[in-house]
Every structure is written in structure tokens, then in C-alpha cells.
Structure 1
């Protein structure tokens, strides 16, 4: 019997009820014995336990290893913070180097003119 994870557990329970499921009514839990009563539905063809995202850790059919395997694909790709940082650092360093060379040349030139 399946455990289901959804962002909208109340809406899912309502849809199941509209199809004739007995949800959160204290129906006997033959297979899904650890399902919270308020999330349990009994249908003619079996049982279902509906979990919301905040209750995902209470699910018993998905192991920690399976959750970890899903994590990389669930996270949106974010731009690398090191790339812009490195570009800015190189630009700042380059400008600083150019300014230092310009100041050094100016000072050197002034010393030759005014001994």
C-alpha cells in the first residue's frame, strides 16, 4: 500500500473522499499501521497514506538513502558565486596594479626632474 507525498495533502484527501475513500474516519488500518489517522484513507482496492511536505520525515517507505539520492535533482541550479567573485577580484587587482605602476612612473619621473 502506498504512501503519497504532496504539497497539498488536504486537497489530495478531499479528492480521494470525492472518489469514495474513507479518509480520517478511523477505518481499520490493515497495512499502513503507522500512518497518522488524519492522513489515512481506505478504499475498496487498498489503503493510502497522504503526507504533506512538512511530514515527509514521518514516511516509512522511503529510506534516508533514497531521500539523499533525490536531493541533487530537487535543488535548482544556482549560479556559481566564485565565478563573479573571481572576475571582480582580477579586475580590482589589475586596476590596482596599473594604478601602482602609474604612480611609480610618475614619482620616478619627478625625481629625475628635481634632483
Structure 2
């Protein structure tokens, strides 16, 4: 069984999740059950699915969980755009987070191909 915590991919996704939690803490409280919750769940879903997939017994199972993680990272990418467009985050924060999201998405794709 693979220790997911040793995967650079998981580490980057985990750090992204922690930073999404920090970022959304400044959102309006009216968004607590809306955009805040959605962004946090999408972000946490990425390293969670990497972790769960790493514990599966076959490579096709792991790939399936990486596919789910890709969907979640794409969801987060849109939610960041929405947050920028409605003024919850700055253009600079959006640019920084977008680069990280793209990096994680590319890493998921590369790791999936490697399996």
C-alpha cells in the first residue's frame, strides 16, 4: 500500500486546501453555507480522493479516484473565478491560486498516466 503523504501531489493538494480554508475565512458570513462551504469541500475533496485512491488495491481503482480529484480541482478553479468576479478575492489572490490549481491538475494528470 502506498503512503499518500509521501506523494508531492498530495502534499501540494493538502497545502492548497489549507490555504483555501484561510482564504474563505474572510468571505461574508452570508456565504458560510454557500460559496465558503462549496469551495472548502471541493478543495478538501482533492487530497481526500488522492489518499483514498492510494489505498485501493488496483491501479485502475486509483486512477478512478484521481479522475474524481480532477473534477474537484476543476470545480475549485471555477469557484475561485466566481469569487474574484463577485469581489470576494483580489485579482492577485485569484492569479496565485489559479496557478496552484493548474499545477495540481497537471500533476494529477501526469500521475494518472504514470499508473
Common topology (TM > 0.5): no
Q: Which has the higher helix share?
A: 2
TM-score bucket (shorter structure): under 0.3
TM-score by length of 1: 0.22
TM-score by length of 2: 0.22
